[in-house]
Every structure is written in C-alpha cells, then in structure tokens.
Amino acid sequence: MDLQPRTSNDISFKDFQAQILKDYEVAVISRECSLLGRREVLTGKAKFGIFGDGKELPQLAMARSFRDGDWRSGYYRDQTFMMALGQLTAKDFFHGLYATTDIELEPMSAGRQMGGHFGSYSLNEDGSWKDLTKQKNSSPDISPTAGQMPRLLGLAQASKIFREEKSISAEGRSTDGNEVAWGTIGNASTSEGHFFETVNAAGVLQVPMVISIWDDGYGISVPAKYQTTKEDISAILSGFQRDEQTKGYEIIKVNGWDYTALIHAYENASDISREEHVPVIIHVQELTQPQGHSTSGSHERYKSEERLNWEREHDCNKRFREWIIENGIAKEEELKQLEKDLRTSVRKAKNEAWSEFLAPHREGKKQLTQLLNNAAETSPNKNFINKVKNDLIAIEEPLKKDLASKSRQALRYLLGDQSPEKEALKQWVDQFLEEMQPKYSSHLYSELPTKATSVEAIPPAYEHNAEDVDGRIIIRDNFDQLLQKHPEVLIFGEDSGAIGDVNQGLEGLQKKYGQHRISDTGIREATIIGQGIGLALRGLRPIAEIQYLDYLLYGLQTLSDDLATLLYRTVGKQKAPLIVRTRGHRLEGIWHSGSQLGGLIHLLRGMYILVPRNMTQAAGFYNTLLQSDEPALIIESLNGYRLKEKRPSNLGSYRTPIGKVEIMKEGSDITLLSYGSTLRIVEKVAQDLLEVGIDAEVIDAQSLMPFDLEQEVLKSIRKTNRLLIIDEDVPGGCSAYLMQEIVEKQGAYQFLDSAPQTLSGKAHRPAYASDGDYFSKPNAEDIFEAAYEIMHEADPMNYPALR
Ligand SMILES: Cc1ncc(C[n+]2csc(CCOP(=O)(O)OP(=O)(O)O)c2C)c(N)n1
Ligand SMILES: [Mg+2]
C-alpha cells in the first residue's frame, strides 16, 4: 500500500484518515446529487440534467492540489470539484437544476445557465475586484465542447506575466505568478480544434496550465474509436512531451479509480506547473458514466453488456470505497451508516431547494388568484375569468411563466371594463413583468456607473500648426501614451510584436515596453481571443489583435459564446474587458473583403462594435474603453493608415464617445448614413449631389453597437424626411440592423416622406481588384444614383430621371 501523498507528511494518521473520509463524503454527496438529479428531470421538475457521476475521484484529487489564487476553466462534469472546494452545496446544486433566479440561492448564474455550469465571483457588488489571490477561482463554464480551452491559455499566461513583468502590479491578482490554471475537458472534446490549438500555444508560451482529460471512452454515444487516433489522446500527444533538450509538456497518465495515484499525479502536476511554469496534461483514463451522458437518453442503447459491466466494476466511487476498507481507514458498517446519513441529507437539501424555488411562485399564485377572483366578480366576463382562475388554481407547482401567462390572458376578458379590480390586476401584471424581466435580461452590458457609454467624451485638441501625418502615426503614438498610462495594457497578435503590426501602428513599441507587453503570437485566432479573455479575467487589460477582419471568423465562436455572454451568464460576478483590435473595410477579394458586419452585429450582442472612420476616431475609442471595463471590437479602416490626418495634441487622453453618431455634413434634403471607409465615399458624393441641387446630410454611424443613443439620426430625418443607409456589408446585413434601429426603435417612420432605403454590397463575396470592388461594393455612382433616385421619385419636376 502506498499511503504517502504529501498531504500526509505533517499530519497524524487520524487527521489523514479524516481527510480521506471527507473526500469520500463529498464523493457520496456528489453521486447522490447526480442520481436524484436525474430523477428530478425524469419526473418533470427540472428541464435537463448533465452530471458528474463517474468522474468524482479525479476531481477530489484536483481539488486537493488547487490553491488560493488558482483558476479553473472546465466543463459540465465538474460538480464534485466545486463541492470539494466548498463552493457548491447539494442545495445549490438543486437550485441550479431547477433554475432558481435568486442569486443567493443559485449562486452560479441565478438560473441563467443549465445546471452543471459553474463559476466563482471576482467582483464585489460595487464592481470592484475581490482579492483573487485569496480565493479559489473558476472562470464561468460554457456548453460548447472545448469552448473552455482558449480562455484557459490566457488564465495561465497571466501567471507568467505577473512573475516576469514586474512593472505590472500583481496586487490582488497574483503572488509572484504562482497560480496554476486548471483545465478540464472530456476525452471526445479533445477532437475539437480549440483543444489542439490551445495545447500547442501553451507549449509555445510555457505557461502554468494543467489540463485534465476526463476519459470515459465516449462522447455521448460515439466511442473513442471514432474520436481519437489510436483511441488514446495522451499517446498521440506524446510528441509534446518535454525532454532534456526541448521544452514542451509533462504528460501524465493515470487511472481515474486509483485514489493514491491520482493524488500523486495532481501533486506532481501542481508542482511542475506552479514552480517551473511548464504545462502539464493529465490523461485520466478508465472513467465511467454510471447514468450515461445526460438525461436526454440512456446509455444502454449504445453500450454493450460487457462495457456496462466493466463500468460497474470500475466505478471510481466503488473502487474508492473498497480501497478505504482494504486499508483500514474505515469499516464497512461505518461507511454504510455514513452513506445513509449523507443520502438523507441530500434528499433533504433537494426538498428544501424545491420548496424555496416554488415559494415566490406560490405567493404570486395566491395574490393572483385573489385578484382574478375580484376582477371576475365585477366583470360581465365573469365565467371566462373564473375559468382562467381555475386553470391557475389547478397548477400545483406554478412557474413564473404560468403566473405571467394566466394574468395576461385574463386582461383580455376585461378589455371593456373600467373597474378598480381590473386596475389592480393590470398593475399586478405590469409590476410582475417589470420585476421578472431583469432576472432574465440584465447584465448584457455593464450596469455600473463605469460603463463605457457613460464615459465622458473629450474631443481631440489641435495646436494651431498641427502637423498632417499618416493615420498610423496617430494610432501608434496613441498606443504609446496608453501603454505608459496603463501598465496593465498588453497588446498581442500575429506580427504585432517585432515589426509592430502589419501596418506599423505599433512600430517600435515592443522595444520600448518589452516582449510581455507587446508580443507576437502564432497564427491562431481562437486562442488569441481566448488569451485575451483569460488575461482580462485576471485583471489585466489585453488588446488582442486579429490581423484582418475576415479572419475574426476563426475566433468568432469564442467571442460569441464566451466573451459576449460572460457578464450576462455570471450576472455581473465576473468581467473580461477585452478589447479586440482588427482592420477591415473596402478590402478586395473573397477572403479580404473586410465587410462582414452583419454576422458580427448578430453574434456579438454583449460587446461593443465600433467602426471608426479614421485613426483619430479609432485612437479615441481605445482611450474611452480603457476608462471603462467592457469588451469591445474596434475595426480600424485598413485603407486609412496612410491617409493624412491632423495630429491631435492630447493623444492618449481624448475620448471618442461610444453610442454616438457624428454629423459630418449638415443638409436639408436627405439623410445619408454610413460608416468606416465607405463613409469617405459618401462624403465625396454629398459634394457631387450639391451640384444637382441636393443638399444631403451625412452622418457617421461609427458606433454600431450601441447605435445612436441620443437619436441624432431621428433629428436629422425630422428635417430631411428621407433616409438612405449605405454600407459594404451584404444586403440585409448591418444596414438592415441600422434600419430597424432608426425606423422602428427611434420611430423615424413618422417623419419619412420617401421609402427608407439601404444600399449595400452585393450578396456575394467581393471580387478581387479595383474593378471587383467597383462591381461588388457600393461605389460613388451607385450612391449618387440611389440618393438622386429617392429625390426624383419625390419631385420628378425638379429632379428629372437620370437614366
Ligand atoms: C461544439 C459542440 N458540439 C456538440 C455538443 C453536444 N455535446 C455535448 S456533450 C458532447 C459529448 C462530449 O463528450 P466528452 O468530451 O467525452 O465529455 P463527456 O460528456 O463524456 O464527459 C456533445 C457532442 C456541444 N455541446 N458542443
Ligand atoms: Mg467522454
């Protein structure tokens, strides 16, 4: 028997025994939660369940090596780990399953995430940071398999930066870079590109990361044979193993039912990565799924009798129990009693959670029944209202939606009534919806006073003899100021370091600020974004550069699923104020179009999307964002780096406001709205239109999300009564979004005398070269003719047909 894990060195056998029994308790509680959880779903109390049964033991070992300041980036199997840390009780678990919206009761996401998705709190109520070195941190889980990997890279890299870059304050964030970032992933999810990209990048960066692969041989019903070459992930990763000559990984293989081997493996991994900053992979094999993958199906459908028997035999909790008895740590009878008591306590926790979940609904039902009763008594539609009331009474365990739905239905029968009883019901409905909706819709963006849209604008200032310089000089010198002002700003991307980006907007800055603050990365957009998310979660201010807008698609899954939902899914308990820098607009060619705004507008709700027309505006956006704490995408205009702009004297300080448009030219006949490089063409066309007697007002949208919070476009349309939106996206893309904002949200339809129109690029990707651009995107003649046509239609006498 090998009973020498480090945890036993300085303690008595009695304490050691108690620790093991504590682990066993957690294993039993966690298993019981899984078993009862499945039942709750099958009896209809909860919608869906995905549990950690069969993965308990390695998680207990991981929890033992996980220290204050460490970070986890894991997935839906990790309930035992969270319980072992003391961050998830059985009652919390059931509240997660039921989707209780009270965050005190369901601390992981107040019911927003499915059960099985975990996270810790990095922020206080007022939005200030907690001391992350004094707590055990979990970044918030997402469901897409391997989606947790890219951010893991940044979480680990932060330790390296804090250890090696002393100009950055580590206070409350790091203790000399000693923190390990622990990733967990299922065996089948290692088939995803995100996994391999992360593994490679962490090997290159040599960061303190420990990836645990929970290998149960399946990904839902699909066995390893169809998932992994050689059916063995550590075997195929063996080329990453470090040796005397070359840096790489430490790769450890261990059986998931072997308690002491697991404890050793995790202590080893922790030491290597924590001390040496070497990444480690722990391939935990021979795990099981006692209840199958999730509540959606049963594994008897796809596992052979032989496999099912093997799983029963290798169940890690069973093996742990046998080991405890064999080694005299506890007797069979003692364990039986312990298990009985624990099962009772879990059942009690479950029942309590269900009562607590229902309590406010039951109270609402009581109030509503009374109100419906009162309303029925005074209404000619008494019978109909009583029917609604009785339907409500029949719902023994009502949900919020039952209350909302029944009360709103009843109002339809009171249409003609004017009674205080109807008024009371109406008020109840209004108040109920007002209280409930934020439980589901708050925190898409920051709700703190520091939010980006509240940062006050400061205009760029100019000396009377201000020089005309290339746009790239403005952006470069502004970054220089920002790097000086904000020590926690880090900029990285493909070619961002040594050459100072492909357009030299970072020229010379690596030399000045060092390789940690301005760095080159591999060609790996998903993990560039993930790096940024992880660094931001740990209190740094990353600016992640994606070389061209078109290649943002590689990182889009991570941006959309992880970054854009982060504040929302943690209900403001964590934040990742990552700024993504890229360049686009008016590029040429199918994969260099730089135009695909529509997709971004739809997929990145939760981020700001900014499209500055020039480098002065762009620099001002960076300045604004660094005064706040929210994620944003800034798309610089690629053909603007060599255009001359006046050099502001307050670089690093002036701020371009977010959510505000800018009137570029006043006019009275038609409003032309555009953004980015296309705006420059529109401005020129507006001059041409003057020659045929059309005085257009030109507006730069510049902040697509959020758009025109002060409704300046509406004011413009009240004056011109006509609207043409021009962009280079596909038809129905960003221009359709802007149309909805203006016509529907701002209510501009009331002031329009002509049909509002959009002029976009063609539906296909843009063809190459200058002619390809001319025939694929709106050109000056297209814009002129579209504006003219609107005027012609309204006033053919003054504007006769053009062609
Ligand atoms: C990107 C993505 N594709 C598919 C799914 C659906 N899905 C959920 S879990 C799962 C299997 C994952 O298996 P594995 O990684 O081995 O983890 P396990 O559930 O076995 O622990 C699949 C296919 C998903 N969540 N995300
Ligand atoms: Mg699996």
Cα(530) to ligand 2 centroid in Å equals 23
Give the span between the Cα atoms of 78 and 60, in whole angstroms: 10
Give the span between the Cα atoms of 565 and 571, in whole angstroms: 10
* Cross-strand bridge partners of residue 539: none
Give the span between the Cα atoms of 430 and 441, in whole angstroms: 16
Token duo for residue 568: 């929302």
Q: Using CA atoms in the order 600, 604, 608, 614, what is the torsion angle rounded to 10 degrees? A: -20
> Is the CB of 145 within 6 Å of ligand 1?
yes
> Is the CB of 233 within 6 Å of ligand 1?
no
* Cross-strand bridge partners of residue 519: 492
> Is the CB of 51 within 6 Å of ligand 1?
no
Give the span between the Cα atoms of 48 and 154, in whole angstroms: 31
Check residue 645 and give left, alpha or beta (phi > 0: left; psi -120 to 50: alpha).
beta
Q: 789 to each of 368, 693, 694, 778, 796, how far by Cα in Å? A: 57, 13, 11, 15, 9
Looking at residue 440, what is its pLDDT? 98
**Neighbouring C-alpha atoms within 13 Å toward the C-beta of 85:** 24
Cα(137) to ligand 2 centroid in Å equals 25
Cα(96) to ligand 2 centroid in Å equals 22
Nearest Cα residue to atom 15 of ligand 1: 186
pTM for the structure as a whole:
0.97
Nearest Cα residue to atom 7 of ligand 1: 145
Q: What are phi and psi of 541, to 5 degrees?
A: -120, 75
**Ligand lying closest to the C-alpha of residue 76:** 1
Q: Which of 13, 55, 508 is nearest to 290 (CA)?
A: 55
Give the span between the Cα atoms of 496 and 640, in whole angstroms: 18
Cα(58) to ligand 2 centroid in Å equals 14
Residue of 220, 228, 288, 562 best suited for mutating to test ligand 1, as the one with most atoms within 8 Å of CB: 220
**Ligand lying closest to the C-alpha of residue 148:** 1
Q: 239 to each of 152, 248, 265, 575, how far by Cα in Å? A: 21, 9, 20, 36
Looking at residue 5, what is its pLDDT? 47
> Is the CB of 589 within 6 Å of ligand 1?
no
Give the largest CA-CA distance in the chain: 102
Count other C-beta atoms under 10 Å from residue 499's C-beta: 13
The C-alpha angle 431, 434, 436, rounded to 5 degrees, equals 105
Please identify which residue in the block is written with the tokens 């056998």.
Answer: 13
Q: 382 to each of 377, 387, 413, 422, how far by Cα in Å? A: 6, 9, 8, 12
Cα(316) to ligand 2 centroid in Å equals 15
Cα(214) to ligand 1 centroid in Å equals 12
Give the rounded distance of the alpha carbon of 185 from its chain centre: 18
Cα(146) to ligand 1 centroid in Å equals 8
**What does the DSSP assignment read for 123-174?**
B-TTSPBP-GGGS-EEPPP-SSTTTTHHHHHHHHHHHHHHHH-TTS--TTT-
> Is the CB of 214 within 6 Å of ligand 1?
yes
Token duo for residue 17: 């025994």
> Is the CB of 219 within 6 Å of ligand 1?
yes
> Is the CB of 365 within 6 Å of ligand 1?
no
Return all residues near 721 (Cβ < 8 A) that are at least 6 apart.
751, 752, 753, 754
Token duo for residue 715: 């004011």
Q: Which of 714, 618, 640, 636 is nearest to 673 (CA)?
A: 714
**Neighbouring C-alpha atoms within 13 Å toward the C-beta of 487:** 9
The C-alpha angle 503, 508, 514, rounded to 5 degrees, equals 120
Helix (H, G, I), strand (E, B) or coil at 731: coil
Give the span between the Cα atoms of 381 and 242, in whole angstroms: 79
**Ligand lying closest to the C-alpha of residue 558:** 1
Token duo for residue 126: 């007022």
Element (H, E) at 614: none
Q: Using CA atoms in the order 594, 600, 604, 605, what is the torsion angle rounded to 10 degrees? A: 130
Cα(390) to ligand 1 centroid in Å equals 43
Q: What is the pLDDT of residues 574-598, one digit of tens each?
A: 999 999 999 998 888 899 888 999 9
Nearest Cα residue to atom 18 of ligand 1: 186
Token duo for residue 395: 């719902």
Return all residues near 168 (Cβ < 8 A) that are at least 6 apart.
161, 162, 487, 488, 540
Residues of the chain with pLDDT under 70: 1-10
Helix (H, G, I), strand (E, B) or coil at 757: strand
Please identify which residue in the block is written with the tokens 């019978």.
Answer: 383
Give the span between the Cα atoms of 425 and 436, in whole angstroms: 16
Q: 599 to each of 164, 445, 595, 736, how far by Cα in Å? A: 39, 19, 10, 12
Cα(220) to ligand 2 centroid in Å equals 7
Q: Which of 708, 700, 704, 703 is nearest to 679 (CA)?
A: 700
Give the span between the Cα atoms of 275 and 98, in whole angstroms: 42
Q: What are phi and psi of 241, to 5 degrees?
A: -60, 130
- Output Rg (C-alpha) for the chain, integer angstroms: 30
Q: Which atom of ligand 1 is nearest to the CA of 143?
A: 25
DSSP label of 640: G
| Helix, strand, coil % over all residues of the chain, rounded to 5 | 50, 10, 40
Q: Which residue blocks in 7-55 are alpha helix, DSSP H?
A: 13-42
Q: Do the bridges between strand 222-223 and strand 218-219 make them parallel or antiparallel, or are there none, so unpaired?
A: antiparallel
Looking at residue 13, what is its pLDDT? 82
Nearest Cα residue to atom 17 of ligand 1: 186
**Neighbouring C-alpha atoms within 13 Å toward the C-beta of 699:** 28
Which stretches of 675-793 are assigned E, i.e. beta strand?
696-700, 703-705, 723-726, 757-759
Contact 558, 530 (CB under 8 A): yes
Nearest Cα residue to atom 26 of ligand 1: 144
Q: Which atom of ligand 1 is nearest to the CA of 294?
A: 19
Cα(220) to ligand 1 centroid in Å equals 7
Contact 699, 716 (CB under 8 A): yes
Q: Which residues are close to ligand 2, an ion, with C-beta < 5 A? A: 186-188, 216, 218
Q: Which atom of ligand 1 is nearest to the CA of 227?
A: 16
Give the span between the Cα atoms of 183 and 78, in whole angstroms: 11
